[in-house]
Amino acid sequence: MSELFGTLSDGSVVHRWTLERAGTRVEVLTYGGIVRSVEVPDRAGRTANVVLGFAGLDGYLAHPGPYFGALIGRYANRIGGARFPLDGLVYALEPNDGPNSLHGGDGGFDKRVWDSRPLPHGVRLSRVSEHGEEGFPGRLEMSAAYTLDASGALHIAYEAVTDAPTVINVTNHSYFNLAGHDAGSAGGHELRLAASRFTPVDANLIPAGAPQDVSGSRFDFRRARKVGSGYDHNFVLDKGVTEAAQEVAELHDPASGRTLTVATTEPGLQLYTADHLSAPFAPGDGIALETQHFPDSPNRPDFPSTVLRPGEVFRSETVYAFSVR
């Protein structure tokens, strides 16, 4: 089902798509590809929205920085120094995070209105990112399909092609609070990650040096434990890049019983404990689990490549499945 959600100052119309299946109800906006809500039951059968967001379009326009629920691109996470080399050329981007480019720039995918069309049990969003948009090379034809499967799990499948060499790294930036979007701190949630390494960062949150073993550190989530706070780090998933999505994370709220499992084709996951959220939310009110390639990969040939060339098809999928225990 699609309905009008709001209108931007330039007259662009924003629609809200509602998907419902097997006890899961999801709302997706054509503005920014935003997942506005995900409603699922707790162990007592009480339903709540478990992602942070706003009732109306004005809320998203007034609070763009946290990227609530948004589709992030062309390059999710950070590119150090807002520049990168590709095939002998250096491409300069507009810094929007200190010296870095963050989440595709101030005019990234999260600030765009996407075309939409229905799918069985879902919606496909699409748009063309023209050559030079936010400084990135190549005309990129991009789509993201949001669907619910027979169990009520939310699948987000991305595809892209380009007419010139470019870099691409996309994710969804939902903040989860399995107790409910208005329940306060999510720091007591329990997290398990299938990641034996993480990428340490410098003062600008750019990866510094080689990935490090998590053993004996606060980055070891190989066994479920409380998340706490103070994380904005990329974890190197043990499975690497895979053609099919594989389970890599589990987030559990002991109070409500709600459990989220994340499966992905991506090699990395950014754990962000939302320590910098501000009103109407508070620091730590949600937890972002951003599936991705690694930050600053265009400047790190030792990391899995994010280069897309003409004739190739970029594909990535992440699955969010909900249950109770």
Which listed residue (103, 173, 252, 293) is catalytic? 173
Task: Give residue 28's pLDDT.
Answer: 98
CA atoms of 141 and 308, how far apart (whole Å): 12
Which listed residue (39, 133, 134, 290) is catalytic? 290
Letter for the amino acid at 273? T
Task: Give residue 244's pLDDT.
Answer: 98
- Locate 161 and state its tokens: 């092609």
CA atoms of 181 and 186, how far apart (whole Å): 10
CA atoms of 7 and 295, how far apart (whole Å): 33
CB 234 within 8 A of CB 294: yes
**What is the distance, to the nearest Å, from the Cα of residue 86 to the centroid of all Cα atoms in its chain?**
25
Closest CA to 289 of 324, 252, 244: 252
The rounded average pLDDT for each run of 10 residues, N- to C-terminus, in the chain (325 residues) is 96 98 98 98 98 98 97 98 98 97 98 98 98 98 98 98 98 98 97 98 97 98 98 98 98 98 98 96 98 98 98 98 97
> Binding site residues for beta-D-galactose, as ranges?
77-78, 173-175, 232
Task: Give residue 70's pLDDT.
Answer: 98
Q: Is the dihedral of CA 187, 191, 196, 199 positive or negative?
A: negative
272's CB contacts (< 8 A; 6+ apart) are 231, 232, 287, 288, 290
- Partner residues linked to 2 by β-bridges: 17
Letter for the amino acid at 129? S
> Binding site residues, as ranges?
77-78, 173-175, 232
Task: Give residue 124's pLDDT.
Answer: 98
- Locate 235 and state its tokens: 């974890």
Note if 276 is an active site residue: no
CA atoms of 323 and 169, how far apart (whole Å): 29
Task: Give residue 216's pLDDT.
Answer: 96
DSSP-derived secondary structure letter, 156: E
Task: Give residue 64's pLDDT.
Answer: 96
Note if 173 is an active site residue: yes
Fold of 71-324: Beta-galactosidase; Chain A, domain 5 (2.70.98)
* Strand, helix or coil for residue 109: helix
What's the burial of 299, exposed, middle or buried (CB within 10 Å: 0-12/13-18/19+)? middle
